[in-house]
């Protein structure tokens, strides 16, 4: 179960978080967003990339979850290496608010009740 959670983090969060923190001109504006919104956008970016990869792999007749995880991990390593360690948002990044606990609690309860799905 631990490895399944690690794979889900790789597919559902890691690439989007790296893309969101990518050093570019818009990073100060992204850092100014509330912490829960930054997490939301990291998840949306990751899931969008995952969906595009799944459709591409399926069209080629090569889809497996392990292959998807491998490709996403490889892309994440490429993003991290090309950023040269400059992935911090800096001190201007807003801290998490107490209102972020409710979505985190809902995710934790959902994982406790319905994990693994099959």
Look up residue 8 and give its two tokens: 């889900």
Give the helix ranges, DSSP H, for the chain. Answer: 2-12, 14-20, 27-31, 35-59, 65-82, 101-114
Look up residue 89 and give its two tokens: 């948002």
- Candidates 11, 30, 31; CA nearest to 76 is 11
Q: How buried is 11 (Cβ within 10 angstroms: 0-12 exposed, 13-18 middle, 19+ buried)?
A: buried
pTM: 0.78
pLDDT in tens for each of the 118 residues of the chain?
788 889 988 999 899 988 888 877 877 778 788 888 888 888 999 999 999 999 999 999 999 999 999 999 999 999 888 888 777 776 767 777 787 788 778 878 887 888 776 5
């Amino acid at each position: 179960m631990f490895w399944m959670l690690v794979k889900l983090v790789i597919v559902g969060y890691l690439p989007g978080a790296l893309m969101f923190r990518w050093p570019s001109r818009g990073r100060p504006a992204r850092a100014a967003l509330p912490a829960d919104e930054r997490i939301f956008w990291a998840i949306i970016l990751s899931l969008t990339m995952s969906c595009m990869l799944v459709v591409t792999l399926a069209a080629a007749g090569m889809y497996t979850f392990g292959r998807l995880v491998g490709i996403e991990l490889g892309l994440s390593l490429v993003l991290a290496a090309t950023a040269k360690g400059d992935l911090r948002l800096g001190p201007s990044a807003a801290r998490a608010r107490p209102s972020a606990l409710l979505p985190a609690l809902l995710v934790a309860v959902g994982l406790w009740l319905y994990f693994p799905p099959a």
